[in-house]
Amino acid sequence: MKLYRTRIPAIARMVIEEFANDGSLEVLPENRVEAETDLVAIMEEYLRRDMELRDAVREHMSTRGVPYDRYGKVRSAMAQEAGHPTGNEVERFLARQFVENFMISRFIEEVFADDAALMKRIRTVLESFDVDETAIRDEARDKVKNLEEGTVDYEIALSHAVKEVKKRHGLLVERSR
């Protein structure tokens, strides 16, 4: 799963809302925003660590002259070494973090469901926000099919097209300059 910053508030809102409404958690109405903010902070911290990992991988590859086509393998190895979840482990990691937060949060009055049930349902919510990255790349490829694949121009155009598709789908926001 790839976690997009633009989706974080909606994920937090849905988890707290669903669990509060079905009685899995007791969250006072005046504490819902703070309970959501705790979950947002967990996801933001994950993204911060993921960015640090990305930068470390790039630095590692640059200083050692490792070709870019090995990025995935290097990233996986460095993530495992650092204990940073990737791929399918992200959902499991975030679910575990959310449940731990529920137990210690001063904004959650009571937890009525067991950990396993909470984690399973959190993972279901996270999966509902998962993005089909292949479909995004395919849509972007359609926009640059006039260029020869494998060329520098193609790669640059494809990168820009992927960003545009993600913006259109609300996955990226335009940064102010």
pLDDT > 70 fraction of the chain, expressed in percent and rounded: 98
The yes-or-no verdict on residue 154 having pLDDT over 90 is no
3-state secondary structure the chain: CCCCHHHHHHHHHHHHHHHHHHCCEECCHHHHHHHHHHHHHHHHHHHHHHHHHHHHHHHHHHHHCCCHHHHHHHHHHHHHHHCCCCCCHHHHHHHHHHHHHHHHCCCCCEECCCHHHHHHHHHHHHHHCCCCHHHHHHHHHHHCCCCCCCCHHHHHHHHHHHHHHHHHCCCCCCCCC
- Indicate the pTM of the whole model: 0.85
- pLDDT digit string (tens) for 8-22? 999 999 999 999 999
- pLDDT digit string (tens) for 59-68? 999 999 988 8
Q: What's the confidence (pLDDT) of residue 6?
A: 93
The yes-or-no verdict on residue 177 having pLDDT over 60 is no
Average pLDDT over the chain, rounded to an integer: 92
